[in-house]
């Protein structure tokens, strides 16, 4: 009888990797929450391809190199980070654990890395900034530009380092497995209601006594009293602006005085246009496989985009990272750092803040071990000669 079984209990210290934290998360939170966290669009081809593309990158290590001391640190916008990682912007995190966004921020702060907060998070951006984390604020292209400018101004006053404009939501991706959990918009079917009633740890963390999480950064957009996750979802979907174009990027560049990143770039020509408009950085992403299915994986096009924009522009990659070695591969192929959404969210869903801390600890130790085995004592020395990447 096979003895290989993933741990599914509640102690994050027992998790050996991100996959095990995922199993723990599935055991703790309701099915509808886990499906929202874990699923992808349509047939989930992009979701699988994101992982397969990282697996296709292989290492070519050096030997007989002194790696007794190793440094994972690198620079991002002129300031040092402890490892080339950023917590990616993700919404509705209050459904995974009470004030989950604050837990992500505190764990990122303690790990010496930035956090990019989602506009549809359930903790105010001011509270996240007050945590002391290096703070980036993600925004969606809502039709109401006046109130959108208000969120940007709030981020400026609070002290956010960067604004990250998400550009790949002209329409919401078709996440069929997520939709199957509901009998009507935001109304769970019977099977899921029964499942919720059995998740005692989650119930007494999220719903009792706090109630349904609320969108703390969207008050000006929403009708009075409609800021709960249950009531606001349909309204927010109607606010997404499919007319978003490069003129809006120029408008935001003029409005925002600090670092500006455009998230959703997958083409070298788009990357060049962003650079010409004065954008400071790009996030090369396919939205984690949650939007367009059968889409190119970011790691596949990262070298082309780096070649197009040159060494001076900051490039961040996300989508599909599950191992510390993935972050090293991203650095080797041209990224300054990599964002991870699901990896840290699995930790959050599994065990709250200790789970996030464990996820970051796992990724850090895997990066460190990868450097040692590559014969590379410093993260900043990683380059294309450390990897082999099959041609497209």
Q: Could you list the active site residues? A: 287
> Tell me, what DSSP letter sits at residue 81?
E
Helix, strand, or coil (residue 225): coil
Tokens encoding 80:
């040092």
Integer Cα distance of 90 and 2 in angstroms: 36
Integer Cα distance of 2 and 260 in angstroms: 51
Tokens encoding 216:
């703390």
Neighbours of 74 (CB within 10 A): 18
128 contacts 115 by C-beta, under 8 angstroms: yes
**Angle between helix 145-158 and 246-255 (nearest 10):** 40
318 contacts 136 by C-beta, under 8 angstroms: no
256 contacts 156 by C-beta, under 8 angstroms: yes
Listed in sequence order, the DSSP H helices in the chain are 18-28, 31-38, 45-56, 100-111, 125-130, 145-158, 176-179, 190-197, 200-202, 229-239, 246-255, 268-276, 298-309, 324-332, 342-374
């Amino acid at each position: 009888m096979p003895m290989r079984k993933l741990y599914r209990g509640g102690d994050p210290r027992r998790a050996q990797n991100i996959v095990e934290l995922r199993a723990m998360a599935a055991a703790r939170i309701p099915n509808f929450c886990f499906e929202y966290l874990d699923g992808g669009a349509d047939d989930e081809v992009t979701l699988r391809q994101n992982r397969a593309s990282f697996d296709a990158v292989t290492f070519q290590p050096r030997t007989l190199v002194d790696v007794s001391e190793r440094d994972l640190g690198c620079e991002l916008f002129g300031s040092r980070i402890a490892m080339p990682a950023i917590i990616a912007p993700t919404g509705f995190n209050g459904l995974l654990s009470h004030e989950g966004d604050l837990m992500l921020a505190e764990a990122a702060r303690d790990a010496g890395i930035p956090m990019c907060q989602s506009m549809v998070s359930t903790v105010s951006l001011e509270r996240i900034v007050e945590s002391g984390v290096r703070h980036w604020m993600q925004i969606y292209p809502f039709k109401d530009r006046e109130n959108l400018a208000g969120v940007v101004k709030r981020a400026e006053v609070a002290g956010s380092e960067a604004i990250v404009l998400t550009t790949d939501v002209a329409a919401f991706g078709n996440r069929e497995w997520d939709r199957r959990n509901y009998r009507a918009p935001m109304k769970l079917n019977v099977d899921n209601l029964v499942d919720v009633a059995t998740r005692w740890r989650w119930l007494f963390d999220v719903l009792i006594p706090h109630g349904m999480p609320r969108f703390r950064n969207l008050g000006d957009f929403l009708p009075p009293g409609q800021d709960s996750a249950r009531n606001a979802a349909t309204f927010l979907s109607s606010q997404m602006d499919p007319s978003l174009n490069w003129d809006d990027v120029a408008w935001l560049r003029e409005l925002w005085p600090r670092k500006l990143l455009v998230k959703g770039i997958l083409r070298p020509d788009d990357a060049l246009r962003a650079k010409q408009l004065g954008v400071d950085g790009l996030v090369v992403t396919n939205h984690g496989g949650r939007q367009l299915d059968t889409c190119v994986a970011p790691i596949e096009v990262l070298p082309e985009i780096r070649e197009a924009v040159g060494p001076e522009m900051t490039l961040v990659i996300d989508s599909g990272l599950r191992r510390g070695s993935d972050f090293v591969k991203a650095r080797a192929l041209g990224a300054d750092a990599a964002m991870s959404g699901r990896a840290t969210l699995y930790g959050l869903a599994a065990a709250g803040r200790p789970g996030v801390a464990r996820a970051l600890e796992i990724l850090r130790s895997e990066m460190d071990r990868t450097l040692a085995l590559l014969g590379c004592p410093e993260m900043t020395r990683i380059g294309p000669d450390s990897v082999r990447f099959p041609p497209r």
